[in-house]
Structure 1
Amino acid sequence: MNGLDVMMVVLYFAALIFVGVLGARKAKTSEDYIVAGRNLGLTMYLACLAAVILGGASTIGTAKLGYQFGLSGIWMVFMLGLGISAIGVFLIRKMMALKVLTISEVLEKRFNSETRLISSLVAAIYTLMVTVTQVISMGTILNVLLGWNLTLSMITGGGIVLFYTLLGGMWAITMTDIIQFVIMTVGIFFIMLPMSLHKAGGWSTLLERLPPGYFDAGSIGMSTIFQYFLLFCLGMAVGQDIWQRVFTARTTKIARAGTIGAGVYSCFYAVAVCLIGMCAYVVLPHLKDPQTAFSSMALATLPPGILGVVIASVISALMSTASGTMLASSTLIVNDILKRYMSPQMNEQHFLKISRLTTFAVGITTIVISIWIQDVLTALDVAYAVLSGAIFFPIILGFFWKRATAQAAFYSILLSTAVILAGLAIKGVSSTEPIVYGLLVSIIVMITVSLAGTSKKEPAALKKSEPYY
């Protein structure tokens, strides 16, 4: 990158810091800090939700998969879009009626406080690990393009996200996400994709020079596609970072339309970034590390000035997700653990102060773990494996099955988490089997323990009992 491109990126960073300071002025209450006062309109809501969904793994990871497997690389992000659209169709009405801050509060309302505690721990680990993927991706981008040390790059990117999230919470995130959504849309769809196709010689050249399997949507393997469904489609339905964004919508109608819209946008994004990775295979067929496919293609394709805009667009995608998941993790810790079990009488001012301190601690922990792992897809697999396998069935059955009990939910989360972590340790983080085992354990425990707990009750008692929703 030349001086003009570096200046574009630096100006972008400065703008985010400035917006973070402005956001701090709007974050006067805990609801302002955590869910932006529940007051977002359709345009802002859709942009913010799309921005949090599409982060480092969606951009860097999909370009890598496109480089390695061709069109079949769309499935990871396509499953994200499918999952978020399913929320809009099936769950939004129930979610918006709850008036809570976290997914764990929902489990306490439906079951008991023990279920809230264990689910908040699992969800906090998930959101922290998703933040790790974004910091790793930011580090990869800055390392390749600026030539900085990878560790320094992660500290810089993660530090900026931590700064504006710490100051303004969800209001700062919302204000920066509007900027980031516009930049990433322009950068990917209107600059990077058409110029990558031009550099590769057009669609006809792709057809000639790419291996035949690169145009087979199933070439990545059905087992991998099924793994992505388990990880990302199911994971979207029970992610605290997603629920927290849903709670920022002003009305149920806005939440439904914006959520479905964000899902559709994600599917188009998957195709665009995958095609960029395929173009990189033609232009740069001997890359040592496919994870650098996107950034290397940008360097090889874009003129000065334009390169800076595209890199800012990629960093936008990473930072928007990182800020949302960082805040989600701290919200779970403060709202569902510290306030619920250690300081139930915590006042508004104290809650806001503790939230900022916890956000700082989560941010520092995230950066440290990022430097240790340094692989974006590995971190993402761990995050979604635990979330999808352990939380999905307690949430869904809690919504739709009246006989589900608190004891069943608690043991379902506990045992399935243990099975998943043990399976990942034995089989490896890229294995599908631990997730399947976790889901099987989860639903078996939910059903058997629930039936055992309710079988002694009179049917009339069940009819009189109204579910919380």
Structure 2
Amino acid sequence: MLADYVVIAVYIAAMLGIGWIGMRMARTKSDYLLAGRRLGWFMYSGTMSAIVLGGASTIGGVGLGYTHGISGAWLVLTIGLGILALHAFFARRLVRLRVYTVSEMLDLRYGGSSTVIAGVVMWGYTLMLTVTSTLSFATIFHVLFGLPSALGIVIGGAIVVLYSVLGGMWSITLTDIAQFVIKTIGIMLILLPAALVAVGGASGLADRVPAGFFDLGGIGGATIVTYVLTYGFGLLIGQDIWQRVFTARSPRVATGGGLLSGAYCLVYGFAGALVGTAARALYPHLGDADDAFATIVEHLLPSGVRGLVLAAALSALMSTSSGALIACSTVTTTDILGRFRRGAVGVTTSRITTLVLGLVTIGIATAVHDVVAALTVAYNILVGGLLVAILGGLVWKRGTRAGALVSMVVGSVVVLVSMAVDGLLANEPIYYGLGASLVCYVVVSLLTPRTDEEVLRTWNARLSGREAAETPAPVEA
């Protein structure tokens, strides 16, 4: 294991070094929260792929492949489809808005202030998303060093918090690019081919697993629809994703880079499911499907190479964890603290907020044990509470502020109550929450006065790019 330890140590040192470099670049609020809105095609596509493909997509995706075969890819496939839809239909307009948060977009579209309500819902989502990735550190550090789960979470979480606090989005972007490259090499170019060779190729794999493992719909139609609603639609409106969209230096970069990222996610989804299927063929009696990734890496790969693949898994966890953490910090400082303090929130306040939230996340992660369940809670709250108000504002001119506010409150409450009654992993909460939110949005909007024309004129001017919220940052070389 010595070679593995060396590889992991070099990787961790590199992440912290990059974080230090990012600190020197983060001089303004825009630098710290949005990397100065200066990312080009490669950096944008790489960092977008890095943030959406985290612990649930990697360790959880392999686990779903272990349980369901190729149809276990659907969790990651719906994430890819969400990224494709976001960049095909909305990314250009989002970049032109020149805002920092989803809540600011809602205020701009509806007039008045819906920031606190939307901010609280988005805060809950980003916090739980950070927890899911931080939680997954337990598996990697247990395989590497035999550490208890809580200690692994603390170590992994501390690394992410440190480089995120130092340089904000610049540190996160630079580390994301390194993590994207490592993840691609480790998962798709090393682990997947090694797993397929170990089981004797496609024919050998087919002989060693149940026939239903090659049915793309084997996971069940209801589950696929739920994934589409939860993760596909969730990717359209999440603060962590929008904040990456806002980093693009132009609408064209956001669209092109995002479409490349979506295509990459689809390939990654099938890769993880195939690795999980191979793990089922090789180790059919694992007690926990989420152990499939660590097991196949530990037993199949030689020392040194194993360390690189485990570094790839760490990359997946750290990129999503850091992206969600900076998103949660942005929502906190802009949408919540910004309402209760005078003056603009600067870089120092953002750093302190990021540090406090990072410590809170580590504490929660030590008490939670189910990655997919935690991610489901986060996306249920997001989609059930905010999807209708956000997409309604983008596509329906008749939508009003009152309709948006009622839909957010009712949708969020219905989701939480339904999860308490039916269970965290039940399909019903997202259906009930979305249905209640949609009905409230349409009915209340039609019963209340139209949005003021001046508000709509400002909104349309910003969407068209004729009016900017701030002076554009220098173009990336």
Structure 1 position 141, deviation (Å): 1.7
Deviations 1:53-103 (A, max 9, x none): 100000011100000000110100000000010011110121011000111
Q: Distance in 2 between matches of 1:283 and 1:421?
A: 40
> Structure 2: which amino acid aligns with 1:205?
G
Residue 399 in structure 1 maps to residue 397 in structure 2: no
**2:151 paired residue number:** 152
**1:72 paired residue number:** 71
Q: Distance in 2 between matches of 1:336 and 1:264?
A: 33
Residue 238 in structure 1 maps to residue 237 in structure 2: yes
The 5 A counterparts of 1:151-300 are: 151-300=150-299
Structure 1 position 319, deviation (Å): 0.3
* Pair 397,467 (structure 1): closer, same or farther in 2 beyond 3 Å: farther
**1:316 paired residue number:** 315
**2:468 paired residue number:** none
Any conservation in 2 of the 1:114–1:410 contact (CA below 8 Å)? no
**1:17 paired residue number:** 16
* Pair 453,164 (structure 1): closer, same or farther in 2 beyond 3 Å: same
Aligned residues: 460
The one of 333, 346, 349 equivalent to 1:351 is 346
| Structure 1 unmatched runs, 5+ | none
Any conservation in 1 of the 2:143–2:294 contact (CA below 8 Å)? yes
Any conservation in 2 of the 1:402–1:467 contact (CA below 8 Å)? no
Deviations 1:160-202 (A, max 9, x none): 0000000000000011011000000011111000001111222
Q: Distance in 2 between matches of 1:465 and 1:230?
A: 29
> Structure 2: which amino acid aligns with 1:363?
G
TM-score normalized by structure 1?
Answer: 0.96
Structure 1 position 352, deviation (Å): 1.0
Q: Distance in 1 between matches of 2:176 and 2:453?
A: 45
Any conservation in 2 of the 1:85–1:260 contact (CA below 8 Å)? yes
> Structure 2: which amino acid aligns with 1:330?
S
> Structure 2: which amino acid aligns with 1:167?
L
Structure 1 position 146, deviation (Å): 2.1
Structure 1 position 454, deviation (Å): 3.0
Task: Answer with 104-113 or 287-296: which moved more.
Answer: 104-113
SS of the residue corresponding to residue 398 of structure 2 reads: coil
**2:457 paired residue number:** 466
Q: Distance in 1 between matches of 2:43 and 2:112?
A: 34
> Structure 1: which amino acid aligns with 2:424?
V
Any conservation in 1 of the 2:70–2:214 contact (CA below 8 Å)? yes
**2:360 paired residue number:** 365
Any conservation in 2 of the 1:145–1:295 contact (CA below 8 Å)? no
**1:126 paired residue number:** 125
In the TM superposition, structure 1's runs of 4+ consecutive aligned residues that sit over 6 Å from their partners are 461-464
Q: Distance in 1 between matches of 2:343 and 2:353?
A: 18
Q: Distance in 2 between matches of 1:52 and 1:462?
A: 38
The one of 359, 375, 386 equivalent to 2:381 is 386
RMSD: 1.4
| Structure 2 unmatched runs, 5+ | 461-477
Q: Distance in 2 between matches of 1:434 and 1:112?
A: 30
**1:342 paired residue number:** 340
Deviations 1:111-155 (A, max 9, x none): 245421111111111011111110111111211332111100000
Q: Distance in 2 between matches of 1:42 and 1:418?
A: 40
Q: Distance in 2 between matches of 1:276 and 1:164?
A: 31
SS of the residue corresponding to residue 249 of structure 2 reads: coil
* Pair 70,464 (structure 1): closer, same or farther in 2 beyond 3 Å: closer
> Structure 1: which amino acid aligns with 2:459?
Y
Structure 1 position 463, deviation (Å): 11
* Pair 431,252 (structure 1): closer, same or farther in 2 beyond 3 Å: same
Q: Distance in 1 between matches of 2:456 and 2:260?
A: 36
> Structure 1: which amino acid aligns with 2:304?
G
Q: Distance in 1 between matches of 2:145 and 2:269?
A: 26
Residue 51 in structure 1 maps to residue 46 in structure 2: no
**2:62 paired residue number:** 63
SS of the residue corresponding to residue 367 of structure 2 reads: helix
Deviations 1:348-401 (A, max 9, x none): xx5211111110111111111111112100100000001111111101110111
% same residue: 42
Any conservation in 2 of the 1:34–1:331 contact (CA below 8 Å)? yes
Q: Distance in 1 between matches of 2:10 and 2:393?
A: 47
> Structure 1: which amino acid aligns with 2:457?
E
Any conservation in 1 of the 2:175–2:319 contact (CA below 8 Å)? yes
Structure 1 position 462, deviation (Å): 6.5
Residue 96 in structure 1 maps to residue 95 in structure 2: yes
**2:446 paired residue number:** 451
**1:105 paired residue number:** 104
Structure 1 position 9, deviation (Å): 0.7
Q: Distance in 2 between matches of 1:92 and 1:188?
A: 28
**2:414 paired residue number:** 419
Q: Distance in 2 between matches of 1:452 and 1:336?
A: 28
Q: Distance in 2 between matches of 1:6 and 1:385?
A: 38
Q: Distance in 2 between matches of 1:353 and 1:282?
A: 52
SS of the residue corresponding to residue 244 of structure 2 reads: helix
Any conservation in 2 of the 1:403–1:454 contact (CA below 8 Å)? no
Q: Distance in 1 between matches of 2:358 and 2:439?
A: 36
Any conservation in 1 of the 2:44–2:248 contact (CA below 8 Å)? yes
